[in-house]
Amino acid sequence: MVRIEDLEKKYIINTYNRQPGVVPCFVKGEGSYLWDEEGKKYLDFLSGLAVNVTGHCHEKVVKAIQEQVALLSHTSNLYYTGPQALLAQKLVENTLIGGKVFFANSGAEANEAAIKLARKNKPGCYKIITAERSFHGRTMATLTATGQPKYQKPFVPLLESFSYGIFNDLDSFEALIDDKTAAIMIEPIQGEGGVYAAEKAFLKGLRDLCTKKDILLIFDEVQCGMGRTGKLWAFEHYDLKPDLVTVAKGLGGGLPIGALIAAEKYAAVLKPGEHASTFGGNPVVCAAALAVLEIILAEGFLAEVKNKGQILEEGLKDILQQNEVKGAGYRGLGLMCAIETGELVAKNIYDYCLKEGLLLNAIGEHTLRLLPPLTISTGELKEGLVIIQKALKEALLEGGI
């Protein structure tokens, strides 16, 4: 019998470092659960890295995809297609900045579009300021935008024209602005960097600074958007508006999509032929995204996300307190959170949870990231908390290493 692990080892470039015999090969998903080849069931507290906001194979998303794929799957962007225009309308109507949309296929591509728009906006101004510890993608421009040397090092020289302020330190951003600056790009809540929320005064300060200096404020909502924090966009917690918003991950309900939303003032900066994507705004993916938005914008849905976020937060804080884990802590908003594992090694807790059938994510040596589907039930959240409780006990018994 052909083993998937052997095929992957032989034929797939090893950029993901999947561990054979440890990491499961999934064959099925439903709601908050996944099943591997052997039929073992896993509770998903990761949502495919913030993608499956409506859980796995949500009935309405599956139906939308099936109907659209049977009707029309691709035409190129030389022609009009319905789902793309309808999705753009839905995004604009539900994003406080209004404006217009460009469709791409991933978060990195959405950010590339934002970077190009910002550079085109003010001729001669090409510099973009991002934050240390940020994550904006893996293409050359978005890798350069990503303020994490560990990802950049093997690929130097990078693009010129990017510099990095310290997250939540307004002065550090102001000091980097000069007469060639085009934009500041920031995640309102840093995801990959370890779930750090921007302080209100910091984001407000960035907004004022960008307005004063006539440069664009770009919010990368690729991970923190799409309802994850209990509001459609994380920036809605801050009572201010950016000029550009990028979104991806959760928007497609598991299919690849990225989008740049530009406020009306900047919606005509990019002209015909200056940016494009063969697959961007594909009818099937847009049909899926429309279904996802319909689900998460239904009355009461986001309020429930907020409630479930509170249950998760209280549960995790209780567990950390009961077990008296030294140096441990909780960070997060809604269903986007991180546990600082203090004296314990995050990977050990991750391994234990995986064995027990709970998927979460270890970032760095002492941080765990949790991103459950927004459709998760409170019962399922509690089921996950029980496993995390056991994992912490086990890790403490083993002496934390």
CB of 177 to ligand PLP, least distance (A): 22
Of 144 and 348, which CB lies nearer to ligand PLP in the complex structure?
144
Q: Considering the complex, what minimum distance in angstroms separates the CB of residue 281 from ligand PLP?
A: 16
248 binds ligand PLP (CB under 6 A): yes
When binding is defined by CB under 6 A, the residue of 29, 31, 55, 107 that contacts ligand PLP is 107
Q: Which two tokens stand for residue 250?
A: 């959760």
Closest to ligand PLP by CB, 138 vs 317, is: 138
Q: Regarding beta strands 244-247 and 258-262, do their DSSP bridges make them parallel or antiparallel, or are they unpaired?
A: antiparallel
Q: Hey, how many other C-beta atoms are within 10 angstroms of the C-beta on 374?
A: 27
Note whether 333 and 230 are within 8 A (CB).
yes
- Beta carbons within 8 Å of 362's beta carbon, 6+ residues apart: 346, 347, 349, 350, 368, 369
Which of 68, 106, 348, 361 is in the footprint of ligand PLP by CB under 6 A?
A: 106
Is 187 among the residues that bind ligand PLP (CB under 6 A)? yes
| 340 belongs to the binding site for ligand PLP (CB under 6 A) | no
**Residue 251 touches ligand PLP, criterion: CB under 6 A:** no
From candidates 222, 269, 336, 337, binder to ligand PLP by CB under 6 A = 222
* Residues carrying an active site annotation: 135, 220, 249
Which residue type does 279 have? F
3-class DSSP state of 10: helix
For residues 286 to 325, the per-residue mask of contacts with ligand PLP, x marking binding by CB under 6 A and - elsewhere, is: ----------------------------------------
Chosen residue from 119, 136, 275, 366 binding ligand PLP by CB under 6 A: 136
CB-neighbour burial class of residue 365 (10 A; exposed 0-12, middle 13-18, buried 19+): exposed
- Measured at the alpha carbon of residue 138, what is the angle toward residues 195 and 217, in degrees to the nearest 5? 60
Q: Which of 96, 15, 369, 23 is nearest to 224 (CA)?
A: 369
SS (H, E, C) 298-326: CCCHHHHHHHHHHHHHHHHHHHHHHCCCC
Residue type, 263: A
Tell me the window of 15-23, 160-168, 220-228, 281-289 that interacts with ligand PLP (CB under 6 A).
220-228
Q: Can you tell me the distance from the alpha carbon of 98 to that of 223, in angstroms, rounded to the nearest whole number? A: 20
**Residue 54 or residue 348: which is nearer to ligand PLP going by CB?**
54
Told to check if 128 binds ligand PLP by CB under 6 A, we report: no
Q: Total residues at the site for ligand PLP (CB under 6 A)? A: 14
Residue 241: C-alpha distances to residues 102, 145, 172, 206, 219 (Å): 19, 21, 21, 11, 9
Whole-angstrom CA distances from 11 to 6, 14, 19, 25 are: 9, 9, 15, 16
Residue 183 tokens read as 């934009």
Question: In the bound complex, what is the minimum distance in angstroms from residue 364's beta carbon to ligand PLP?
Answer: 15
- Tell me if 108 contacts ligand PLP by CB under 6 A: yes
Report the residue number, 146 or 348, with the smaller CB distance to ligand PLP: 146
Closest by alpha carbon to 251, among 281, 226, 270, 276? Answer: 226
List the one residue from 42, 45, 126, 135 that touches ligand PLP (CB under 6 A): 135
Verify binding: residue 31, ligand PLP, rule CB under 6 A: no
Nearer to ligand PLP, 168 or 377 (CB): 168
**Minimum CB distance to ligand PLP, residue 398 (Å):** 31
| Maximum pairwise Cα distance, the chain | 65
Residue (248 or 360) nearer to ligand PLP, CB: 248
Q: Cα 79 vs. chain centroid, distance in angstroms? A: 30
Query: Closer CB to ligand PLP, residue 36 or residue 132?
Result: 132
Regarding 223 and contact with ligand PLP (CB under 6 A), the answer is: yes
Stretch that binds ligand PLP, among 38-46, 131-139, 197-205, 315-323 (CB under 6 A): 131-139
Q: How many C-beta atoms surround the C-beta of residue 188 within 10 A?
A: 25
220 binds ligand PLP (CB under 6 A): yes
Shortest distance, position 142 Cβ to ligand PLP, whole Å: 7
- Asked if 191 interacts with ligand PLP (CB under 6 A), we say yes
Query: Site residues (CB under 6 A) for ligand PLP?
Result: 106-108, 111, 135-137, 187, 191-192, 220, 222-223, 248
